[in-house]
Amino acid sequence: MSVAIAVLVGIVVLVLALRQWLLVRECTPCPSEAFDGHIHRVGKAVIAERRCENPRATVLCMHGFVADMRYFTRHYEDPGLQLILVTSCDYHLPITGPREVPAPWAKVPSAPEGTIAHDAAVLVQALEHLPRTDQVRVHGHSRGGAVVLEAAKLRPDLFEKVEVVLEAPVLPRARAYTRLTRAQLWLLPFFIPLWRMAPIARHNRGAWGPLEDARKRELIMAFPFNPKRVSTMLTNLVDLARWFDERDESLFRNVRRGTVLVPGKDRVLESRSMLESAQKGRPELEVVTLDGCSHFVLWDRPDALPALERLPERPSATA
| Residue-wise pLDDT tens digits, 222-259 | 999 999 999 999 999 999 999 999 999 999 999 999 99
Cα 92 off chain centre by = 13
Task: Quote the CA–CA distance of 240 and 231 in Å, as a whole number.
Answer: 14
Alpha helices in the chain (DSSP H): 2-24, 116-129, 143-154, 182-197, 214-221, 230-246, 271-278, 297-300
Cα–Cα distance, 69 to 80 (Å, whole number)? 19
User: How does pLDDT run across 187-231, given as a tens digit for each residue?
Assistant: 999 999 999 999 999 999 999 999 999 999 999 999 999 999 999
Residues 35-91 pLDDT 10s: 999 999 999 999 999 999 999 999 999 999 999 999 999 999 999 999 999 999 999
Nearest to 140, CA basis, from 230, 65, 39, 36:
65
What is the three-class DSSP state of 216? Answer: helix
Per the CB < 8 A criterion, the answer to whether 160 and 169 are in contact is no
Q: Does the pTM of the predicted model rise above 0.85?
A: yes
